[in-house]
Structure 1
Amino acid sequence: MQGRTKSESRRPLSGRSRSAPEGRTFLAALSDRWNSLKNDAVRANLPRLLLFFLAAVGAGAVLVHLAEAGQEDGMFRRLFDGIWWSVVTIASVGYGDKYPRTDVGRSFAILLILSGVVLTSLISGTIASIFVERRIREGKGLRDVKLKRHILVCGWNSNARNVLEGIAASGEAARTSVVLVSMMESDLFEDLKTRYPGLDLRFVRGDHTQEAVLRRASAGAAHACVLLPDETGPGGASNADERTIMACLAVKALNPEIHAGAEILKPESEQHLVRAQADDVIVNGEFSGRLLSAAGFEPGLPGAARKLFSGETRLRQSPIPSSLVGKTFREASGWYLSERSAVLIGVLSKGKGMALEDLLSDDSSAIDAFIKRKFQEAEMDLARETGAGDEIHLAPGPDYVIRDSDWAFTVG
């Protein structure tokens, strides 16, 4: 797996900054759902129906109170008695503790009962239609998603389920929503929701290379983005890499601080994705041949590699505790083994990167010129540093000194 990690301000997919909040809070998620439900209710004219309902209750209470207030039994002596009777009557409860005795009062009761039947039917039908429509629109990917610090999965192919399985096994599933952005059919999305009940899956149907579609998925507030070679869009896999590059540019234009990881089909597309500010780039099938060849001489390696990315003992990336800064790799390894029952195998060392204007030269290819133009249209700074100076040190040696900008690679 070949990664390109950006400047220190960026957060890798599997790591968290020392001061960052842990995912979306319950109250934030509840507020998002409430605002969305409120907007749907307003569009369906539910507030107006509720106002008519309250007006009918109030009118019935006042009219019956005035008509029955002079009766000797005193059932409607107070206005609140009329309100109580009006609510019980219009809701079809019918306790029978209060009822009008005069012809005028009974005439008002008939009108209230008839209007109550109509209003309660309209209100219950409207509420049901709101939830049914929300369900249908969500399943078809037609609803806007209002989330924060979620993960975008742009594009879809036969290997995309492995991405969802990885997110589900990461320990972040309970705190992070996942938004799928592609042209997949609604039946497939419903199947995914059934297959991964532990994930808060959302769906936005559309071309993930278009900023308008990404805005519907709240790309500007997302924490991370996974870009896959798309088989559902126009052209299928034939132009998947080009669409991945365009999607990366669109995502970065909306959210320059998002951590974008991308998979490509052709190795020659890697350089263009790096120039489009992709933080991690993986070439499809890059290690398949090596693992298969290793199976003939070291038959345990393919199984070990599989376990490194699945299960409880998988490979993880995390911030190094500040107490280990300045200590040697040997001392840090001992601390991880004793305190976290994990094996420290290496570190990600942050370094000074290169500016995009250095990567995108004036005599570069047409794709580079396109990338440069897109950054200029988005008013993004070409002089901002990339992560070209970041280095991965596996088994760096016992005397390697841990720095405050290092991240740990551990197994366990």
Structure 2
Amino acid sequence: MLRVRYMGNFPRLPRLTRLLLLIIVVLCCFGMLIHLVEPETFGTVFDGIWWTIVTIATVGYGDFAPSTVAGKMIGIILILSGAGLVSSYFATIAAVAVSSEHLYMEGKKDFTRESHIIIVGWNERSKEIIREMKILEPIIPIVLIDDSLQKHPLPRENVHFIHGKATHDGVLSKANIKKAEKVLITADLRQDEFQADMFTILTLLAVKGAKADIFCLAEILTREQIANAFRAGADGIIETNRFASEVMVKSLLDKIVPEFNEEDAEEQDSKIRFRPIPILQEWQGLTFKELIPFLLDQNRLAVGIEREGQNVIQPPPDYRVHHGDSVLIIHTQD
């Protein structure tokens, strides 16, 4: 005896799609049936389908109505079965929308767009980086990866949150690493400096393993791990401690206090200010890292770039200056 076994290899359609297909089948079947039973009242199949839609939607225009007993019986069956079917469909739509919003807020929803920037780690620096990015490049999508957050920290911003460790391939896949353009890995200050750098280097390996040609910028806290970060594939290194130390030494020797919020700061004597210096022609096209030695030769400490009225403090080393920009230096205002 020949037996045929169903292997179940066909993909199961989502519930919403199955409900929609079932509703379409019901509309067509009842539309054709009422047309066959009462061709005088329902002259075409489309008239029957129209009546079916109006009936199960409980709209009741009254332009078509069955007049025979058989037609009315069909109407009764349609009302009892179709109305519940449509209600179930709209309830499913609402449930899917609510579920999608929960997944988004909890960082479990996949990111599907392209040419985005991935920022690993949530802290005050990440928050400021995102704010600056929204000012300079508001159309570039940003994906934030962090395992310490339980909910989206910036739900009203154009930022997609992924919950998890960036060292896991599954988390990077959710962030659509294959289609990403750049990655910034910030140091985890909840750990000691050595562990934070080890996590950064491990994240670098995971990112470069997923997409070898992606531009990756990493924050390193200890100078001893810079070489290892480059070996792991970093395209650029940010030495946060070194930069902070330079500012502190400059402030200590010159007896000045850094003031980084120029708008809210009150005019006080002996306080540091940012002074913009127009970019010279020979500086155009240089990166911020290449520009620093020119200013140091003039005993000036560069802290950022002013572009189109916006200050970019501590830009990435590969941040290039253009015509119309100004370099921000620290100076004492008497």
Could you say which TM-score interval applies, normalised by the shorter chain? 0.7 to 0.9
Report matched runs for 1:12-411 at 5 Å: 44-69=14-39, 74-170=40-136, 172-174=137-139, 176-187=140-151, 189=152, 191-194=153-156, 197=157, 200-230=158-188, 239-295=195-251, 302-303=258-259, 332=281, 344=283, 347-348=286-287, 394-395=293-294, 408-410=320-322, 411=325
Contact 2:193–2:222 (8 Å) recurs in 1 = no
- Structure 1 residues 283 and 79: CA distance shift in structure 2, 3 A: same
- Structure 1 residues 237 and 206: CA distance shift in structure 2, 3 A: farther
Contact 1:148–1:221 (8 Å) recurs in 2 = yes
- Structure 1 residues 207 and 407: CA distance shift in structure 2, 3 A: closer
CA distance in structure 2 between the aligned counterparts of 1:289 and 1:134, rounded to whole angstroms: 45
CA distance in structure 1 between the aligned counterparts of 2:294 and 2:257, rounded to whole angstroms: 18
Contact 1:294–1:302 (8 Å) recurs in 2 = no
Corresponding residue SS for 1:203:
strand
Corresponding residue SS for 1:173:
coil
Corresponding residue SS for 2:241:
coil
RMSD: 3.3
Contact 1:348–1:407 (8 Å) recurs in 2 = yes
Contact 2:16–2:89 (8 Å) recurs in 1 = yes
Contact 1:228–1:262 (8 Å) recurs in 2 = yes
> CA shift at 1:139, angstroms?
1.5
CA distance in structure 2 between the aligned counterparts of 1:345 and 1:216, rounded to whole angstroms: 39
Corresponding residue SS for 2:154:
helix
Contact 1:56–1:115 (8 Å) recurs in 2 = no
- Structure 1 residues 209 and 231: CA distance shift in structure 2, 3 A: farther
Corresponding residue SS for 2:286:
strand
CA distance in structure 1 between the aligned counterparts of 2:168 and 2:87, rounded to whole angstroms: 42
- Structure 1 residues 162 and 299: CA distance shift in structure 2, 3 A: farther
Mean Cα deviation higher: 207-216 or 281-290: 281-290
* Letter paired with 1:60: F
* Letter paired with 1:290: E
| Normalised TM-score (structure 1) | 0.60
Matched length: 281
Contact 1:229–1:244 (8 Å) recurs in 2 = yes
In the other structure, the counterpart of 1:377 is none
CA distance in structure 2 between the aligned counterparts of 1:315 and 1:141, rounded to whole angstroms: 43
Alpha-carbon displacement from aligned partner over 1:336-362 (angstroms, at most 9, x marks no partner) = xxxxxxxx467249xxxxxxxxxxxxx
Contact 1:294–1:301 (8 Å) recurs in 2 = no
In the other structure, the counterpart of 1:337 is none
- Structure 1 residues 87 and 237: CA distance shift in structure 2, 3 A: farther
- Structure 1 residues 268 and 63: CA distance shift in structure 2, 3 A: same
> CA shift at 1:236, angstroms?
7.5
Percent identity over the alignment is: 30
CA distance in structure 1 between the aligned counterparts of 2:202 and 2:88, rounded to whole angstroms: 47
Structure 2: gaps spanning 5 or more residues: 1-11, 264-274, 298-317, 327-334
* Letter paired with 1:192: L
* Letter paired with 1:409: V
